[in-house]
């Protein structure tokens, strides 16, 4: 599964064909929702921003002045080591309801009422993989796939 924003530059026939060739399920997030649906935005980039600010603050307190090409990478790596923990990474997928798949969490994040399908989930699917619906689409039809524009169409 590949999770990405649904920007038009990401969607084209070659991309979808490559996904099919490698059995990758492309999942487009609706516009303006990545800040609460994209796992890395939820659990990694916010802690990274906070850690980078803390690193800069400590360095400033110690008398170091400014950020330039010579020290940026060192500062960034220091912040990255603080923020990029296995716990933070896992929490992003859990908090967005993606792993394990939790439709109730998705409804909470999207601020929508819990629907009947969430209250009464479908029975588990058989373990035999089914053919992907995209594999039967013509390239012209693939170009017409669009990202949902709001939570209701999602």
Per-residue pLDDT of the chain (154 residues; tens, 9 = 90+): 887 777 777 778 888 889 999 999 888 877 777 777 777 877 888 899 999 999 999 999 999 888 888 899 999 999 999 999 999 888 888 887 777 777 777 777 667 665 545 444 555 554 444 444 444 555 555 445 555 556 565 5
Structure tokens at 138: 């013509």
Q: What is the pTM of this model?
A: 0.54
- Radius of gyration of the chain from its Cα atoms, rounded to whole angstroms: 20
Q: What is the pLDDT of residue 48?
A: 94
Q: Which helix (H) or strand (E) holds 75?
A: helix 69-83
Q: What is the pLDDT of residue 12?
A: 83
11 closest CA partner among 106, 118, 19 = 19
DSSP state of 3: E
* Rounded Cα gap, residues 110 and 102, in angstroms: 13
Tokens 């020290």 sit at which residue? 71
Q: What is the pLDDT of residue 145?
A: 52
- Number of Cβ within 10 Å of residue 94's Cβ equals 15
């Amino acid at each position: 599964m590949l999770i990405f924003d649904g920007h038009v530059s990401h969607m084209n026939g070659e991309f979808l064909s490559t996904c099919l060739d490698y059995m990758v399920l492309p999942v487009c997030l609706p516009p303006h929702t990545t800040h609460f649906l994209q796992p890395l935005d939820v659990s990694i980039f916010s802690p990274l921003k906070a850690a980078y600010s803390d690193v800069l603050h400590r360095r400033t307190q110690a008398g170091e002045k400014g950020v330039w090409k010579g020290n940026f990478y060192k500062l960034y790596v220091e912040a990255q080591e603080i923020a990029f923990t296995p716990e933070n990474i896992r929490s992003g997928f859990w908090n967005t309801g993606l792993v394990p798949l939790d439709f109730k969490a998705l409804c909470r994040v999207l601020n929508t009422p819990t629907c009947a399908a969430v209250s009464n989930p479908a029975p588990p699917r058989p373990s035999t993989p089914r053919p992907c619906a995209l594999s039967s689409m013509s390239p012209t039809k693939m170009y017409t796939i669009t990202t949902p524009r709001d939570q209701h169409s999602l």
